[in-house]
Amino acid sequence: MRRLFSGLAAGSLAILFLAVAGQRINGQDPAPRKSKPPDSLGDQYCTQTGGTVLKMGPAYGTNGSNPLRLSGSQDFCDYLASDQSEIFVLASTLYTSQPSLAALAYYAQVQPGSCQGNPASCYCTLLGGSDQFGGTTGAGGGWITRTRPGFVLEACIFPDMSTIDSWGLFYHSANIIRGIDLGTVLKYPDPYDRK
């Protein structure tokens, strides 16, 4: 199975691009829209396994002083370690017992190829995901939350909509654990034979 995923990563999977329209009214962000009840099974599982649920929304222009908050939101599980490193995973990706591209990418630990620019974003793209909003412009984009002003999450979104922290994924490929080893909490177990 590892060879299968590596082959897929080496090939070109369709890159997912979020095309979500957002609008501002008199310079103010519109009210956030509800996505799912805060007591979803993924959210409950996140807190039971030591994580914190953060409702995050997509935003464009995060490199500037006034990012445009886009429509929608998702619940991410944030695992924070005592060394202050952290990793984020979409609550639904964490909770599913079925395979997902994000979980397979995490478990496979495919070695990064050569890229220019942001290594985590490049690694995500090499695996068939995308964490870019608006292409490769300098405007920037990512996931933000009202509870942590100024924080922007680069989340690697795969074609099956499974999602994981791009930097956590990149560091894990080099056996560096940020936050928590997701292999201990993902409901989908590691399918690769490590013998």
Residue with tokens 């979500």: 20
Burial category of 189 from C-beta neighbours within 10 Å (exposed 0-12, middle 13-18, buried 19 and up): exposed
Instruction: Output the six-digit token pair for 162.
Output: 């499974």
- Across the chain, mean pLDDT equals 80
Cβ atoms of 55 and 75 within 8 Å: the answer is yes
Q: Which residue has the higher pLDDT, 12 or 101?
A: 101
User: Which tens digits make up the pLDDT trace of 133-167?
Assistant: 766 667 788 999 988 988 999 999 999 999 999 99
The pLDDT-based confidence of 114 (bands split at 50, 70, 90) is: confident
pTM (2 d.p.): 0.77
- The alpha carbon of residue 154 and the mean position of all alpha carbons in its chain are separated, in whole angstroms, by 6
Cβ atoms of 46 and 77 within 8 Å: the answer is yes
The residue extents of the domains of the chain are: 2-10+39-184
